[in-house]
């Protein structure tokens, strides 16, 4: 299994541009989440999904959109990039509590985004 | 709302010394608790987890943590630090039945001196 994969690894955007960060998992996990990591802030939840067609906001959702059309994929869209969105973005997935007693999230390698 | 406090953003120990990284949580009911490790320019790797079985949890690389409900703590320890333990460590909490939403502490960067 490849686990959780993210593309691209690095991206530089200009203010106002839009882009999509890709995330895919091959573990048949129901749950998927997006976090951003900033120095001294830990990881903060942006959006999450508990299954195909179901998404919800996390702690810092503004400026980001998500959709979940398949179990495997959970893309994160930046609508109009701002310098405040410069960060490292991590995608994670996990089993639902009904499917497994595993509970932990599995993380992708991250995407480092710079907005100038 | 749940929250996690990690005391000490930077901890420095000598090789062979005890490692103690502190984590306190706030939750109305006992949650699930996790420690993750992040090596430079990498993703997060699970070290260990508490999900209401034994209160003393053993993880990978010789780390362990003890869940203390009375102190709302889940401190991470390792008896003897190794140079390869240098990394950033994150404590995280999730509600029972809610593994899609982790709340992370701000992290503790561990330096191991020769």
Which residues on chain A place their C-beta less than 8 Å from a C-beta of chain B? Answer: 31-33, 35, 40-45, 48-50, 58, 90, 92, 94-97, 101-110
Quick: pLDDT tens for A77-96.
999 999 999 999 999 999 87
Nearest to B4 by CA among B38, B37, B29, B27: B27
Quick: pLDDT tens for B4-60.
999 999 999 999 999 999 999 998 777 889 999 999 888 999 999 988 778 899 999
- Whether B25 has its CB under 8 Å from any CB of chain A: the answer is no
Distance, first Cα to last Cα, chain B: 41
Contact A33 B45 (CB under 8 A): no
The string of DSSP codes covering A4-63 is EEEE-SEEEE-TT--EEEEEEESS--SEEEEEEEETTTEEEEEEEEEETTEEEE-SS-TT
Contacts of B105 in chain A (CB under 8 A): 42
pLDDT at A14 over 70: yes
> Which residues of chain B from 79 to 98 reach within 8 Å of chain A, CB to CB?
90, 92, 94, 96-98
The three-state secondary structure class of B61 is helix
Provide the pLDDT confidence category of residue B109 given band limits of 50, 70 and 90: very high
Residues B95 and B31: beta-carbon distance below 8 Å: yes
Share of chain A above pLDDT 70, in %: 95
Distance separating alpha carbons of residues B57 and B73, to the nearest angstrom:
13
Distance separating alpha carbons of residues A86 and A114, to the nearest angstrom:
5
Among the partner residues B34, B43, B90, nearest to A104 by beta-carbon distance: B34
Quick: pLDDT tens for A32-44.
999 999 998 999 9
Distance separating alpha carbons of residues A75 and B100, to the nearest angstrom:
16
- Whether B108 has its CB under 8 Å from any CB of chain A: the answer is no
B72 Cβ partners below 8 Å, 6+ apart?
A: B24, B25, B26, B27
Contact A45 B34 (CB under 8 A): no
Chain B nearest-CA residue for A98: B97
Quote the pLDDT of residue B13.
97
Contacts of B99 in chain A (CB under 8 A): 31, 94-97, 102-105
Minimal CA separation from B113 to chain A, in Å: 22
Q: Is B7 exposed, middle or buried (0-12, 13-18, 19+ CB in 10 A)?
A: middle
Average pLDDT of A49-75?
95
pLDDT at B2 over 90: no
Spell out where B15-96 has E strands: 19-26, 32-38, 44-50, 56-58, 64-68, 73-78, 87-94
Distance separating alpha carbons of residues B92 and B106, to the nearest angstrom:
9
Quote the pLDDT of residue A100.
63
Minimal CA separation from B68 to chain A, in Å: 20
**Phi-psi label, residue B85: left if phi above 0, alpha if psi -120 to 50, beta otherwise:** alpha
Contact A90 B101 (CB under 8 A): no
Minimal CA separation from A84 to chain B, in Å: 18
Cα three-residue angle B36-B37-B43, rounded to 5 degrees: 95
B98 Cβ partners below 8 Å, 6+ apart?
A: A97
Contact A42 B99 (CB under 8 A): no
């Amino acid at each position: 299994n490849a686990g959780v994969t993210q593309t691209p690894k690095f991206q530089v955007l200009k203010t106002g541009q839009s882009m999509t960060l890709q995330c895919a998992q091959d573990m048949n996990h129901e749950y998927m989440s997006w976090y951003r990591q900033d120095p001294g802030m830990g990881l903060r939840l942006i959006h999450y999904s508990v299954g195909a067609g179901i998404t919800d906001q996390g702690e810092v959702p503004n400026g980001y959109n998500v959709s979940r059309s398949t179990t495997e994929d959970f893309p994160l869209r930046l609508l109009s990039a701002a310098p405040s969105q410069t960060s490292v973005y991590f995608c994670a997935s996990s089993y639902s509590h009904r499917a497994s007693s595993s509970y932990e999230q599995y993380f992708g390698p991250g995407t480092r985004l710079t907005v100038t | 709302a749940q929250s996690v406090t990690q005391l000490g953003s930077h901890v420095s120990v000598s090789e062979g010394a005890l490692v103690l990284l502190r984590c306190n949580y706030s939750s109305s009911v006992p949650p699930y608790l996790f420690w993750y490790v992040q090596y430079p320019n990498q993703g997060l790797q699970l070290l260990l987890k508490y999900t209401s079985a034994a209160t003393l949890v053993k993880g990978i690389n010789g780390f362990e943590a003890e869940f203390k409900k009375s102190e709302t703590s889940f401190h991470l320890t390792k008896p003897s630090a190794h140079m390869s333990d240098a990394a950033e460590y994150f404590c995280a909490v999730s509600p029972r039945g809610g593994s899609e939403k982790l709340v992370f502490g701000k992290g503790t960067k561990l330096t191991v001196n020769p």
